[in-house]
């Protein structure tokens, strides 16, 4: 890569690491704050997480029309403020602050995807997209590890204030990035976008459940401490990081193989989690599930760049990220109801059935992306 691409790669790595580490605090620690500090029931925890993801959906829809450098910097500032406010929220104010956090994050994240996919050469572009995904994993590993260190000194509330600094540091890094609003019209019926959404859905069902209720599951089933919960998530995200590191070094040519591997490991990890009877068993299942987490996002972004023209990708990324967050919000909400009525393991069993169903549809359609790639290479 030339000097400009190296600079772009470094900017993406640092910015994405900072933003993802801070957003992970909301995803994994806010449910614990709501449950044990604010006294929320499992149902209300699910509703709160759903509000965060629905708000992120709104932010992604806003991005499609109004994406710009000014919007990006402004949302980073507001996002930082919302993180700081989460350290002092009450059982009433937490709803509004969570919503603001979600909207701003929904604007920021698709921008990073679009910036990552600007290279003209296909392999360079896909390598940058994999580096973006790798940076997500680094941030997700860093977040829980830093939290585990900070919680004994700052408490659960204090970590939100500490991570409020991350978006502020990202502002000068992204200030000079090329950000533009998308043009063209893309619909979910576009084959590449449809396959990308199916691919991410096959894992987002599991991921959303883990982010919202994984820590509570560990505490109530195995008596885990907050620090042990963060270590469990660190194992999960470390496995994801190593997977994305491999993809960054050697991008996948045939996405069907990556999708199949992801589905097999997802099913295996969920089964191990359902039958787990000790904290060690649960940690093993988290580690297994970290691998497909490392595969699905890079595969989906590659599908979009291979099948959608450059002038339409910003729109596609907005729709993709909006769909991702809507799947997450629905899963969190229904999981909260399901856990209240059935329990943790029965909800996981239901999710396993949905993953298998989506997997069958996905495998019947994913070959179209590889077919397009072969045709372009043979021209």
Domain ranges across the chain: 3-378
* Integer angstrom CA distances of residue 297 from 80, 130, 286: 25, 9, 17
Question: Is the separation of the CB atoms in 181 and 66 below 8 Å?
Answer: yes
- The answer on pLDDT for 200 being more than 90 is yes
Which of residues 161 and 68 earns the better pLDDT score?
A: 161
- The answer on pLDDT for 184 being more than 50 is no
* Residue 90: predicted pLDDT: 94
* Residue 379: predicted pLDDT: 52
Q: Thinking of the domain 3-378, which architecture would CATH place it in?
A: Up-down Bundle (1.20)
pTM: 0.77
Please state the separation of Cα 373 from the chain's center in Å. 26
Q: For 34-52, b where at least 16 C-beta lie within 10 A, e where not — what string?
A: bbeebebebbbbbbbbbbb
Three-state helix/strand/coil letters over 332-371: HHHHHHHHHHCCHHHHHHHHHHHHHHHHHHHHHHCHHHHH
**Contacts (Cβ under 8 Å, ≥6 apart) of 280:** none
Which of residues 310 and 31 earns the better pLDDT score?
A: 31
* Integer angstrom CA distances of residue 97 from 36, 51, 88, 104, 377: 18, 10, 10, 11, 48
Please state the separation of Cα 310 from the chain's center in Å. 23
* Integer angstrom CA distances of residue 43 from 39, 40, 46, 343: 11, 8, 5, 12
Element (H, E) at 45: helix 42-66
Please give the mean pLDDT across all residues of the chain: 84
**How many other CB atoms are found less than 10 A from the CB of residue 219?**
17
- What's the token pair of residue 215? 């820590």
Per the listing, tokens 């930082």 go with: 80
* Integer angstrom CA distances of residue 88 from 75, 77, 85, 204: 21, 18, 6, 30
- The answer on pLDDT for 257 being more than 60 is yes
């Amino acid at each position: 890569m030339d000097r400009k691409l190296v600079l772009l790669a470094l900017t993406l790595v640092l910015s994405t690491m900072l933003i993802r580490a801070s957003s992970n605090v909301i995803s994994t620690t806010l449910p614990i704050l709501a449950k044990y500090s604010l006294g929320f029931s499992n149902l209300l925890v699910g509703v709160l997480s759903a509000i965060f993801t629905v708000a992120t959906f709104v932010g992604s829809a806003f991005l499609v029309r109004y994406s710009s450098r000014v919007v990006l910097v402004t949302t980073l500032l507001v996002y930082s403020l919302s993180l700081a406010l989460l350290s002092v929220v009450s059982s009433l104010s937490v709803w509004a602050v969570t919503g603001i956090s979600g909207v701003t994050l929904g604007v920021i994240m698709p921008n990073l995807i679009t910036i990552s996919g600007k290279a003209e050469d296909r392999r360079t572009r896909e390598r940058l997209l994999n580096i973006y995904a790798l940076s997500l994993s680094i941030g997700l590993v860093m977040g829980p590890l830093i939290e585990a260190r900070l919680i004994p000194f700052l408490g659960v509330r204090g970590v939100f204030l500490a991570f409020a600094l991350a978006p502020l540091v990202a502002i000068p890094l992204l200030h000079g990035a090329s950000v533009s609003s998308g043009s063209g019209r893309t619909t979910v019926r576009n084959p590449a976008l449809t396959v990308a959404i199916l691919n991410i859905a096959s894992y987002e069902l599991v991921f959303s459940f883990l982010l919202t209720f994984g820590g509570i599951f560990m505490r109530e089933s195995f008596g885990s401490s907050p620090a042990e919960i963060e270590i469990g998530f660190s194992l999960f995200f470390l496995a994801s990081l190593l997977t994305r590191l491999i993809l960054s070094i050697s991008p996948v040519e045939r996405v069907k193989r990556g999708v199949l591997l992801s589905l097999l490991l997802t099913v295996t990890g969920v089964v191990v989690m359902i039958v787990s009877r000790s904290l060690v068993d649960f940690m093993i299942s988290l580690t297994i599930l970290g691998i497909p987490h490392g595969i699905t996002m890079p595969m989906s972004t590659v599908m979009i760049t291979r099948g959608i023209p450059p002038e339409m990708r910003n729109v596609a990324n907005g729709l993709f990220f909006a769909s991702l967050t809507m799947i997450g919000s629905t899963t969190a909400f229904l999981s909260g109801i399901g856990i209240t009525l059935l329990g943790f393991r029965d909800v996981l069993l239901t999710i396993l059935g949905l993953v298998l169903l989506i997997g069958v549809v996905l495998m019947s359609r994913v070959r179209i992306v590889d077919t397009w790639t072969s045709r372009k290479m043979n021209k």
